[in-house]
Amino acid sequence: MNRSFATSSLWILAATVVLVAALVPLDPMLSRRAQDLPAAVVAFNGRITDFGTFRWMLYGSGLTAVLAYGLARASSRETVAGKAQAAGRLALYFFLTIGATSVLVHLLKLVIGRARPALFGEHGAYSLTPFAYDDLYSSFPSGHSAAVGAFFGAFAMLAPRLRPLFLMGALAIGVSRVILGAHYPSDVAAGLLLGLWTAIAVAYIFARRQWLFRLDERGWPLPKSFGAKSQ
């Protein structure tokens, strides 16, 4: 295993444990206060929250990858084929990152079975019902937060200089889930970090194949165009 990847994975795991442990005692209070924000704030978050759905990300990136690879194979012009192949790998990176995140997050939801805030009055904030096969018991981790963690995490890996901007975008969608009463803050923190970890993991895999990324001297995946001539 790549030592840099193992180290970054441990850091993300540690951050997840610390953040979740810190937020869990505050979940009920923060959730109630978020839902009591002015109606205009709640309405705005309702409009932006569905940006964090897996479906459009998977369909969009998957279709783009198929079309780009089809164009690369069909084109007789080397320049066009090369650009189409690069576009296909870019779309494939997003597709695999978001798809893997979706599988992981839905598996964790099923195994953990945390009751959503809608059931707070009946079960409280810490009720776990594993394998309930019911969306009301799938609060942890947040799927929307995991999706945007993966989506913006992939962008952050591809454009390191813009990472603060992508972080703010992911946080905005994650916070919307708390304001709308769909998740507790600890659900959001876990989802965001899970998505980020998956984006890093897939970047390592691509870097080993010299697709989009290269490994620097520390073994960290950097976009090929970042700090070096394209390979």
Average pLDDT, the chain: 93
* Helical spans, DSSP H, in the chain: 3-23, 27-35, 39-48, 54-74, 78-112, 120-123, 143-158, 163-179, 185-208
Please report the pLDDT score of residue 227 as a whole number. 59
Q: Which residues lie across from 128 on neighbouring strands?
A: 114
135: pLDDT strictly greater than 50: yes
116: pLDDT strictly greater than 80: yes
Tens-place pLDDT, residues 25-44: 999 999 999 999 999 999 99
Q: Does domain 3-223 have CATH number 1.20.144?
A: yes
Tens-place pLDDT, residues 164-195: 999 999 999 999 999 999 999 999 999 999 99
Query: CA 115 to CA 128: how far, in whole Å?
Result: 6
Please report the pLDDT score of residue 146 as a whole number. 98
Q: Which of 39-43, 78-82, 223-227 has the highest mean pLDDT?
A: 39-43
Please report the pLDDT score of residue 3 as a whole number. 80
CA atoms within 13 A on the CB side of 195: 35
48: pLDDT strictly greater than 50: yes
Distance between first and last Cα of the chain = 24
Provide the residue type at 126 as one letter: Y
- The answer to whether 201 and 5 are in contact (CB under 8 A) is yes
Kindly list the domain boundaries of the chain, sorted by start residue: 3-223
pTM for this one? 0.93
Residue 51: closest CA among 148, 178, 163: 148
